[in-house]
Structure 1
Amino acid sequence: MPKLRGTQSAGSAKNSRLAAHKPPNLKGPKPQAIGGANNKTRAADGDKKPSSDQQKALAHNLQQDVLGVFSRALAPALTSPRLNEALQAVKQALFERDFAGAFGTVDDSKPVADKSSEEKKGKTVSFEIDNAIPPLDAYAARWSPTRALCYASVLASPVVQEQWNAVSSQEEDQQPEANKKSLRMVAIGGGAAEIVAFGTLLTRGEAGHDHTGELVLVDSGPWASVVDRLQTSMIEPSADGCRTALVEPAERFGVDFRQRDILKVDDAEMGKLIGGGDEAGGATTLVSLFFTLNELFTAGGLGAAATFLLRLTASAPSGTVLLVVDSPGSYAEMAVGAQARKYPMRWLLDKFLLQDAEAWTKVHEDEAIWFRLSPSLSYPIRLEDMRYQVHLYVRK
């Protein structure tokens, strides 16, 4: 297998069919090898070593095992001579910000002899879908592995675990085995990267190795097939017994995928989704918005995104953890109003979450962090380093 190479991150890929809303009045402020950038370039980028509370360094063997999960689950896409063609079609759709065209218009169950085109705003994105690779398979094979490793390192970091897994070891030891708390995560806009990142926490020696895990994925894209294959790849050992399951026993890893537009979820459904009801068993819920919030603001409109955040706040029980990871810098600026004045996403996020003193507490943030892949890892195709910002809130 080739060594990993870095490329520039390709931006978020969320299939958002979101309605525009009138925004409220606001006031306020080519691929290259990993390590190929010289020191001056990295210094100009504001590169810095992440502190131990921002990322947990996952063991090299575990990182390689995670890449193996993708290699097995998405083998047909990774070995197809048409992978590059599929990736170029997805990249074109993403460049046009046509998320529905990229991911929501191809019915993989119906073979088509010619081309399928999705026209939006006078622009056309075409997919060859006779024996073609489903767009989500192509996307997951190319961009999700690095994100899964990054997300797992953030989820396992001390600052996140301190809030999410807040029950002390003494209190947990006093609970009957059947009543011990699980790790519960609701991934809004979640798909391939989120399920593998969450499963990584449940592996031997990691933050949730002695917990059960409940993951709820909510996205308007048709991720079910990809998610199912990735989960199977994590919980099944090899037939020859040479490779053990990454998560065992399989019953520890519960996954519920819901194909829903989060902006169309009403108060009652949001309450059940975030609170979990009796099914949560008292577990603290971590709500993740990984490269999703930017799309909610830009594609959905400021009003719709604000309504979602307020609805989330009203539905979240005390102690709920909200973890936001998104693009840094100018990639996360939102144009608001007739004059298209730009606001940093983090400023808008704080405005809607912290304006009520009784709502959320912000416990951590970093505006720009690098996640870099080790060049000694291997994967069938080239992958990218990624740069991100992170914000962590806890419901009061």
Structure 2
Amino acid sequence: MPRLRGTQSAGSAKNSKLAAHKPPNLKGPKPQPIGGANKKTRAAAADTQSSLDQQKALSHNLQQDLLAVFARALAPALASPRLDEALQAVKHALFERDFSAAFGTVNDTREDGAGEFDELKGKHVSFQIDNAIPPLDAYAARWSPTRALCYASVLASPVVQKQWSTLSQEENTPLRMVAIGGGAAELVAFGALLTGSEAGRDRNGDLLLVDSGPWGSVVDRLRTCMVGSDAGGGKPALVQSERFDVNVLQQDILTVADEEMSKLIGGGNAAGPTNTLVSLFFTLNELFTAGGLGAAATFLLRLTAASPPGTVLLVVDSPGSYAEMAVGSQARKYPMRWLLDKFLLQDAEGWTKVHEDEAIWFRLSPSLSYPIRLEDMRYQVHLYVRK
């Protein structure tokens, strides 16, 4: 199978939701160069040239423009002296796999004027309301930019576009994406596809973000910065507003009824072929954790039943040991990719697997800039097409 642009990495991932990232360096008010912490490692790596080839999916200028979108939309969080504190709370919750706490909201209803995060596995972090940073703002400011560039490179890659955009081009229909567990990173990545990729540059886009977290405010600000005239420096909008249709559904996908699931995935076209891509970007592990193996398996089977022929399913998640699931009384661990293939290819028998890669590095150019330091990330990817 052809590989997505990227490099295969040796070694195992840390057992952490943040295994794809290193801790942030928040010192200094000036924009930080990106990737500097990895220079020695990258210089010694044999796969350096391949990692540079990956960046061809998005131009350097477009990558910088996308980072600028995050910097403008989330400027208050990035400039807050409490950002480090908020990030530590989010990181703690993610490390404990307490996803509802990590992606919750700041409680700003107390009469004494103080807002606070919920308790995060014994750790309590409080803020004054005028300086409070909602967890999703902090998360989006710190971890979503790298993921957005990574996701955009995956979506724009030839192996994905070959499966996704052919029908859209023939029927002149919008590219449609249903991002399960999607938020800031998926929004900007999809906008980048409409802006900078050969397949999406002349297409309209229809994006549906489905997540239990309250992403509406963050998504609205990011989209405004992408389609508005406030690009900065006299730059035009990255995407024309009429070409970029975005809807946010705050709902736990595990609780969605079968009929509604069919409408979400099929988009009203359940009887015939579809041009829909369903994404599970760093979400499947969360579903296994939150609902258990049985609920996640049932979701995948229900997703299969709801997906019309031609639906593309794209899974991106942490590689290595963190993507192992404990099953049974003996807590035997199975790789997520093995479970995916079992449920989708063997049990459901409704999909064809057209691509997989167990470990890829997405590397950021050191010449890119952002108000705080960002790092490279590592991921696995699996691509299926509904029969």
Shorter-chain TM range is 0.7 to 0.9
1:302 and 2:293 are equivalent in the alignment: yes
For the structure 1 residues 109 and 62, does the alpha-carbon distance in structure 2 shift closer, same or farther, using more than 3 Å as the test? farther
SS at 1:390's partner residue? strand
Q: Which residue of 2 aligns with 1:353?
A: 344
Note the 1:283-298 alignment, pairs <5 A.
283-298=274-289
Quote the residue 1:387 is aligned against. 378
Which residue number in structure 2 is paired with residue 130 of structure 1? Answer: 129
Residue deviations 1:192-221, cap 9 Å, x none? 000000001111554211111000000000
In structure 1, the residue matched to 2:61 is 61
Structure 1's unaligned 5+ residue stretches are 1-7, 14-29, 173-179
Report the Cα offset of residue 100 of structure 1.
1.8
- Deviation of 1:298 (Å): 2.0
Corresponding position: 1:158 with 2:164: no
Q: Distance in 2 between matches of 1:292 and 1:112?
A: 37
Task: Say whether residues 1:11 and 2:11 are aligned partners.
Answer: no
Aligned counterpart in structure 2 of residue 232 of structure 1, from 206, 224, 240: 224
**Structure-1 residue corresponding to 2:334:** 343
Q: Report the residue type matching 1:126 in the other structure.
A: V
Matched ranges for 1:30-109 at <5 A: 33-38=36-41, 42=45, 49=50, 57-108=57-108
Aligned 8 A contact 2:167 2:275 in 1: no
Of the three residues 302, 326, 342, the one matched with 1:311 is 302
2:362 pairs with 1:371 = yes
Indicate the SS of the match to 2:189: helix
The question of whether the paired residues in 2 share the 8 Å contact of 1:55 and 1:153 is answered with yes
Q: 1:328 to 1:346 in 2, by over 3 A?
A: same
Q: Are the structure 2 counterparts of residues 368 and 47 from structure 1 closer, same or farther at C-alpha, using a change threshold of 3 Å?
A: farther
Q: Which amino acid aligns with 2:377?
A: M
Aligned CA distance change for structure 1 residues 322 and 108 (closer, same or farther; 3 Å): farther
Mapping of residues 270-281 of structure 1, within 5 Å: 270-277=261-268
SS at match of 2:76: helix
Alpha-carbon separation, structure 1, partners of 2:139 and 2:181: 15
**Alignment partner, residue 22 of structure 1:** none
TM-superposed deviation, 1:112: 5.6
Question: Given the alignment, which residue of 178, 182, 190 partners 1:198?
Answer: 190
Distance 1:383 1:110, change over 3 A: farther
Partners of 1:115 and 1:89 lie apart in 2 by: 14
Cα distance between partner residues in 2 of 1:138 and 1:195: 16
Distance apart, 1:79 and its partner CA: 1.2
- Summarize the Cα distance change of 1:82–1:284 in structure 2 as closer, same or farther, 3 Å threshold: same
Q: TM-score, normalised by structure 2?
A: 0.85
Tell me which residue corresponds to 2:200. Answer: 208
Q: Is the 8 A contact 2:62 2:196 kept in 1?
A: no
Please say which of residues 147-156 and 32-41 is displaced more in the overlay.
32-41
The more displaced of 84-93 and 325-334 is 84-93
Distance in 2, Cα, partners of 1:240 & 1:200 = 17
> In 2, distance between residues paired with 1:141 and 1:111?
29
SS at match of 2:234: coil
Counterpart Cα distance in 1 of 2:212 and 2:192: 24
TM-score, length basis structure 1: 0.83
Q: Is the 8 A contact 1:182 1:283 kept in 2?
A: no
Distance 1:286 1:329 in 2: 25
CA contact (8 A) 1:47 1:370 kept: no
- Partner SS state of residue 124, structure 2: strand
- Kept after mapping to 2: 8 A contact 1:57/1:153: yes
2:143 maps to what in 1? 143
Given the superposition, is the C-alpha separation of residues 287 and 280 from structure 1 closer, same or farther in structure 2, using an over 3 Å criterion? farther
Residues 167 and 97 of structure 1: CA distance in aligned 2, closer, same or farther (over 3 Å): closer
Asked if the contact 1:117/1:124 (under 8 Å) is kept, the reply is no
1:114, distance to aligned residue in structure 2 (A):
3.7
Instruction: Give, in angstroms, the shift of residue 331 of structure 1.
Output: 1.3
- Give distance in 2, aligned partners of 1:47 and 1:266: 46
Identity of aligned residues (%): 71
- Amino acid of the residue matched to residue 103 of structure 1? F
The whole-number CA distance in structure 2 between the counterparts of 1:371 and 1:204 is: 18
**More off after superposition, 105-114 vs 60-69:** 105-114
Task: Note if contact 1:55-1:156 (Cα within 8 Å) is conserved in structure 2.
Answer: no
Asked whether the 8 Å contact 1:101–1:125 carries over to 2, the reply is no
SS across alignment from 2:383: strand
Q: CA deviation at 1:102?
A: 2.2
- Between the aligned partners of 2:277 and 2:213, the Cα distance in structure 1 is 21
Q: 1:381 to 1:226 in 2, by over 3 A?
A: same
1:41 & 1:79 partners in 2: Cα distance? 35
Structure 2 residue matching 1:49: 3-state secondary structure? helix
Give the distance between the partners of 2:345 and 2:270, measured in 1 at CA: 29
Maintained 8 Å contact 1:203/1:209: yes
Offset, 1:280: 11
- Say whether the 8 Å CA contact 1:12–1:291 is kept in structure 2: no
